[in-house]
Amino acid sequence: MALLLVLVRALIVVVAAAVVSSSGLPVPGYDGLAIGFYHETCPQAEELVLAEMREIVREDKTLAPALLRFMLHDCFVRGCDASIMLKSRKMMAERDALLSCSLRGYEQIERIKAKLEEACPMTVSCADIIVMAARDAVFLSNGPRYQVETGRRDGKVSCDIDAYNDLPPPGSNIVDLKIYFSVKNLGWKDLVVLSGSHTIGRAQCASFAGDRLYNYSGEGKQDPSLNTTYAPELRKACVPGDPFDETYVEMDPGSPYTFDLSYYRDVYSKRGLFLSDQALLDDRWTREYVERMASADSTEEYFRDYSKAMTNMGRIEVLTGDNGEIRKVCGAYVD
Instruction: Note the residues at the interface with ligand HEM (CB under 6 A).
Output: 62, 65-66, 68-69, 71-72, 102, 104, 168-170, 172, 177, 194-195, 197-198, 200-204, 207, 274, 276
Nearer to ligand HEM, 36 or 168 (CB): 168
User: How far is Cα 335 from Cα 71, in angstroms, rounded to an integer?
Assistant: 23
CA 18, chain centre distance (Å): 29
> Active-site residue among 36, 67, 71, 73?
73
Nearer to ligand HEM, 131 or 319 (CB): 131
CA distance from start to end of the chain: 54
Q: How far is the CB of 110 from ligand HEM (least distance, A)?
A: 17
Q: How far is the CB of 7 from ligand HEM (least distance, A)?
A: 35
Query: How does strand 248-250 pair with strand 34-35?
Result: unpaired
Residue nearest to ligand HEM (CB): 201
Specify binding-site residues: 74, 77, 79, 81, 83, 94, 168, 198-199, 252, 260
Specify binding-site residues for heme b: 198
Neighbours of 250 (CB within 10 A): 17
User: How far is Cα 150 from Cα 148, in angstroms, rounded to an integer?
Assistant: 6
Nearer to ligand HEM, 27 or 206 (CB): 206
Please tell me the total number of residues recorded for the chain in this structure.
Answer: 335
Specify binding-site residues for Ca(2+): 74, 77, 79, 81, 83, 94, 199, 252, 260
Nearer to ligand HEM, 274 or 302 (CB): 274
- Cβ atoms of 243 and 229 within 8 Å: the answer is no
Instruction: Report CA-CA distances (Å) from 143 to 90, 285, 293.
Output: 40, 24, 15
Question: Is 73 a catalytic site residue?
Answer: yes
Q: How far is the CB of 173 from ligand HEM (least distance, A)?
A: 11
Instruction: Report CA-CA distances (Å) from 7 to 4, 134, 184.
Output: 5, 35, 29
Active site residue ranges: 73
